[in-house]
Amino acid sequence: MTDQSLAPEPPDANGGEVLLDARDISRVFRLGSEEIRAVDHVSCEVRAGRLVTVRGRSGSGKTTLLNQLGALDTPDEGEVFFRGRPLKRLRESELTRLRRHNFGFIFQSFALLPVLSAFENVELTMRIAGRPQRERAERTREVLDMVGLSPRAGHRPFELSGGEQQRVSIARAISNKPSVLIADEPTGELDSITGLEIMLLFRRIVDAEGLTIIMATHDPALSQFADESWLMEDGRLSLAEGDLDIDIPELRQRIEFVEE
């Protein structure tokens, strides 16, 4: 595959506002005398209302790239812009506010608080963001219904399956209505069928909420749900090619996923 820059296109090429714009970014780690370029001169942009998958083997740089795009880490070279604002120039307090109100995060481990119910786990994020109690309750019910877990709202994590726990983490991540959802291997601890259900859920959320999702995965089949598919290899980013052709309506029936 020929390496290619995913540089910004003309404003009307794909439609939608450019939310994230990475310009020639690199992240370098040093182990003794060895230099590891986890992200190596990457340029890309992410537009509003898109589902983007970033594929690659373990150690290819996917997580490091997502950390740069999600304002969790700072590139050693180049710069990331969010809605035209250069993230590198923001103070840590400003970055914290930016992440809290504009980004949602989902990880491979569900990271739910075990003593709280599904409802309370979701509601806590909005409590931290300072939202009023009535608004928190209404939005919690809304997002739990969106992910199909309203009947399980009172259950604690140990009473939920792995797929249900990940749905709670998704509801929590979108509760504050972020502009961008960063998902790092969110199906990594799930079986293949449950992983496909989660991807269908992501597709529904993007279409219904206009949310932008950037998701790291090692599974090429999941990229069929995406608007764009990128490939990370040794810290370099390129467009993914040659994915499998999956009939999504047939797939929905096969895994018995019920949509509203």
What's the rounded mean pLDDT across residues 217-232?
Answer: 88
The strand ranges marked E within the chain are 18-31, 34-47, 51-55, 77-82, 85-86, 103-106, 180-184, 212-217, 228-233, 236-239
pLDDT tens digits for range 158-194 = 999 999 999 999 999 999 999 999 999 988 888 888 8
- What integer pLDDT is reported at residue 108 of this predicted model? 77
Architecture of domain 48-74+90-254: 3-Layer(aba) Sandwich (3.40)
Query: Between residues 220 and 179, which one has the greater pLDDT?
Result: 179
Query: Between residues 236 and 245, which one has the greater pLDDT?
Result: 236
The mean pLDDT of the chain is 86
Query: Domain residues of the chain, as ranges?
Result: 48-74+90-254
Tokens of 150: 């309203």
- What integer pLDDT is reported at residue 6 of this predicted model? 54
Q: How confident is the model at residue 13 (pLDDT cuts 50, 70, 90)?
A: very low
Q: Return all residues near 225 (Cβ < 8 A) that are at least 6 apart.
A: 51, 53, 199, 200, 202, 203, 248
Euclidean distance between CA atoms 202 and 215, whole angstroms: 10
- What integer pLDDT is reported at residue 122 of this predicted model? 95
What's the rounded mean pLDDT across residues 53-59?
Answer: 90
Query: Between residues 195 and 12, which one has the greater pLDDT?
Result: 195
pLDDT over 60 (residue 259): no
pLDDT over 50 (residue 7): no
- What integer pLDDT is reported at residue 103 of this predicted model? 94
pLDDT over 80 (residue 27): yes
Length of the chain: 260
pLDDT tens digits for range 66-115 = 999 999 999 999 999 999 999 998 999 999 989 988 999 998 778 899 99
pLDDT over 80 (residue 34): yes
Percent of the chain scored above 90 by pLDDT?
59
